[in-house]
Structure 1
């Protein structure tokens, strides 16, 4: 194994870190490394609502079906005008004493609730409150303090609560009269501990969990880890780098139960579950850049439910990817991986990017979005393929098929992904990650040194 190396990346807070293998990184791809052990207390999203899928054009009370379920909107509508402040195409617009209330019970509990809010157009300030019910809507209790909306830029209001089991939310405008407020991107998170797995369930330990093979950079869900923040999006887990505005890597499991008939949602949006003090990469951040909003965890890998598919459109799952690279080379590989699943296998996938500078449809660029999103020079993926079964870790041996691919992020790339196959060792050296670390050392060494040729 390689020697330990410590990386220090915070300017005001020093995070001491250790890792099983040496990380060879360039400055552009350096990340905090806090621990090589798999975390067991990451957050789980129990509710996510972006308001992209519903339509309600009038303020009169009525219910609207959204991706998360049915909501009642009173003195509120789904706004899609240029004056509506929003991530994506739509947000809720309220006036007077408007309310938006869940008509259904969400399950899984709630610890942190984040809601994006802003003043509509040129309206004046208003205040609003969050209320929670744990008895099916029979009674509600206010959560936290009253919030003031005073700016026409989306702001994140975060409420810390302690709810177990089922719950309903009600957002209530309480002052400001005819002044209007936009609400968008509601995210409810709870500390999930371990998760037994299963199609689309995520988790960090146990069969089918997204981090079964290890945490490549020792990411943790700590706000101080600005370049190595562990983000559990339920249907995949990632290390997010707020300095680059992209994930360092995303890890997920695919089984036949993950591949269904849910339609592609196309609800690109900022990730409201990230720390509110960080810059929010939005749905339009890549506009006119010459680069695609390239998924790490693909939309087509998560078609079991609308919620599963919608989760892949969080901008924290995107990188600026050259169109040819995204739409041809990587799309061809993604289709091939899904064909392995439908043929009777399950796969563990880890995808990431590193370096600075790519070539899109408008030429070379190091950054986009006014310098706030870094364009990677390379995009990589590692896939571990095993037949359907249980006790997955124990079934991985030196003969297990591992596919490792590393492509330049350029628009003149060839469409045959197989010509970019490499070894896991080579990706680790280039990207500064420690892959397959949960495997026994002898098996890890054998798998990481070979190049797939099937």
Structure 2
């Protein structure tokens, strides 16, 4: 798709270090082939040539945040929660600098260790597969913060909420208009054996859950169609015997649950 036809997705620009992204109570980023990022629309990954090494990287406070307010890696020590990436380090493997900047603590959210290393990682891998297959995709990922947190830590500050759940939305806007597609996932922050297809929902449902209007810059007819559908077959996914269709009433029940 030509530059002038790329979607204006909405959301405000900010930086994590030098990496330009959009913050919408989560992170929006762009994956595809091309050069290193200079603007929001150029946050790219060259899947075939990505070779940056994360082995030497460590988590660190975001220097753009006031020191007394910045989360540190030690805040997570002995909490029982993983430092879960929102933008995965491997998605930024086209650049040592970009990958390093995914280790700022502003790109981290507390995740159950089995969830982080299990279903969330599986979804990250699937997203990279789609980026390679469809050339360019937009990804929005983040915690759901409209419900009271499971807990807060560290004890001294209680500044870090542990979310009950996370979402991820993938948009493919690079083909012809009739080939534009999107898929949304809502996952509880816990271990699960349910296949990924069992967590597919509509963008409309995620918007209700989070209170965020994700793609206000899309043409209205395209936005309404994309956000109201959950078509796993568009993404090469199948519904197996262990999966059930997502029930939208789950969102309402989730928000009404007592902690």
TM-score for the superposition, normalised by structure 2: 0.74
- Written as runs of structure 1 = structure 2, the 5 A alignment for 1:71-90 is none
Structure 1 residues 409 and 398 mapped into 2: Cα distance closer, same or farther (>3 Å)? Answer: farther
- Written as runs of structure 1 = structure 2, the 5 A alignment for 1:412-431 is 412-414=191-193, 416-431=195-210
SS in 1 for 2:75: coil
Q: Which has the higher contact order (CA 8 A, sep 6+)?
A: 2
Q: Which runs of 4+ in 1 moved over 4 A?
A: 205-208
CA contact (8 A) 1:398 1:446 kept: no
Aligned counterpart, 2:130: 340
Residue among 373, 380, 384 paired with 2:167: 380
CA apart distance, 1:333: 1.3
Structure 1 residues 263 and 397 mapped into 2: Cα distance closer, same or farther (>3 Å)? Answer: same
Structure 1 residues 406 and 344 mapped into 2: Cα distance closer, same or farther (>3 Å)? Answer: closer
Aligned counterpart, 2:230: 451
CA apart distance, 1:235: 3.4
Distance 2:62 2:91 in 1: 19
Higher strand share: 1
Q: Please, which runs of 5 or more residues in structure 2 have no aligned partner?
A: 35-44, 234-259
CA apart distance, 1:357: 5.9
Structure 1 residues 333 and 437 mapped into 2: Cα distance closer, same or farther (>3 Å)? Answer: same
Matched, 1:268 2:54: no
- Written as runs of structure 1 = structure 2, the 5 A alignment for 1:206-245 is 212-215=8-11, 219=12, 230-239=14-23
Higher helix share: 2
Aligned counterpart, 1:69: none
CA contact (8 A) 1:235 1:252 kept: no
CA apart distance, 1:378: 1.3
CA contact (8 A) 2:185 2:201 kept: yes
CA apart distance, 1:383: 0.3
CA contact (8 A) 2:144 2:166 kept: yes
CA apart distance, 1:385: 1.9
Residue among 18, 26, 34 paired with 1:249: 26
Name the larger-Rg structure: 1
Aligned counterpart, 1:401: 181
Structure 1 residues 309 and 207 mapped into 2: Cα distance closer, same or farther (>3 Å)? Answer: farther
Matched, 1:366 2:151: yes
Distance 1:306 1:207 in 2: 30
Structure 1 residues 422 and 313 mapped into 2: Cα distance closer, same or farther (>3 Å)? Answer: same
Distance 2:218 2:17 in 1: 24
SS in 1 for 2:117: helix
Distance 1:285 1:206 in 2: 44
TM-score for the superposition, normalised by structure 1: 0.44
Structure 1 residues 339 and 352 mapped into 2: Cα distance closer, same or farther (>3 Å)? Answer: same
User: What is the number of residues matched between the two proteins?
Assistant: 214
